[in-house]
Amino acid sequence: MALNPNSNRRILIVDDNEDIHDDFRRILQPRVDTSELDDLEAMLLGEASAMPRPPTFELTSAYQGAEALEKVREALKAGTPYAMAFMDMRMPPGWDGVETLSRIWQEDPNLQAVICSAYSDFSWESISARFGQTDRFLILKKPFDAVEVRQMACALVEKWAHHAASQQAEQALHGHEARLRALLQVLPDALLRVAADGTCLDFQPSREAVLAPRLAFPPGGRLASSLPAHVARELLSWLGQALGGGPARVLEFELPLDGETRCIEARIAAIDPAEAFVLLRDVTA
């Protein structure tokens, strides 16, 4: 499995047995002493390397649950969180794997985990009863297979990366929405969101006393219900051009309001092919 070279490959190994740590290092940090010779041979023979290099990971060892929790805290403080952990189930005399993971998730809920156990008294059901419905852990029975370990590491590291990217995108979206709301709060103009067929989707009245509340576009209504027929037709025509990929359009029209004629400027900008914003401003001299 090819991993993103920029992905977080930091893995925490939590087990009270030093030999288990050595096993994980052999599997997840394999030695490739012959890689340079293989590359040279491939270059001389004009052939691609026959065997892809296995992915390698950055491993940190902890031998008790409390030590693992402290390492997670330190990693978070340094801005270098672990993507996942391989967690032994029984680590006397300290916490077991479930208790350790429960405490770690209070600090870092994004950590992916593989719970390793040679005992049959810990089932998926019993562990799930502790954590509830979650997709953040897998169970690996000892003695484990090297291919299984490597596959789990690759899959969960990539899962962590996708989740982190999703969180960043969501935060950026919230920030954009907050800035947009702030902008709308200070705009003095009336703002209309309208569909391609002229249906009014949303309307923010003008903050200027001249137009508010005399100009209104009820959601679900049609442009022709709030504007003179000829103005509505012209606005729809310009709306179609803007939605067709053209630049923002500016239209001026006269609008009778309470016995006087006002000159209104409408600026039309497409949001997507189905709807647009119309900014309405009173430009009466």
Same domain, 164 and 34: yes
Same domain, 165 and 199: no
End-to-end Cα distance, the chain: 68
pLDDT in tens, the chain (285 residues): 555 556 799 999 999 999 999 999 999 998 755 555 566 666 666 665 555 667 789 999 999 999 999 999 999 999 999 999 999 999 999 999 999 999 999 999 999 999 998 776 577 777 888 888 788 999 898 888 999 999 999 999 999 999 999 999 999 988 888 887 777 677 788 889 999 999 999 998 887 655 545 678 899 999 988 888 998 999 999 899 889 887 878 889 888 877 788 888 999 999 899 999 999 988 887
Where does a domain end: 132, 160, 179?
A: 179
Q: Which domain holds residue 169?
A: 10-179
User: How far is it, in rounded angstroms, from Cα 17 to Cα 19?
Assistant: 5
The angle that helices 97-107 and 65-77 make with each other, rounded to 10 degrees, is 20
What stretches of 111-267 show up as alpha helix (H) in DSSP?
Answer: 124-131, 146-186, 223-226, 229-243
1 within a domain of the structure (yes/no): no
Per the listing, tokens 């504007």 go with 227
Contacts 24+ apart (CB under 8 A), 166-171: 167/110
User: How far is it, in rounded angstroms, from Cα 215 to Cα 26?
Assistant: 73
Same domain, 172 and 225: no
Q: Give the CATH number of the domain where residue 245 resides.
A: 3.30.450.20
Contact 223, 193 (CB under 8 A): no
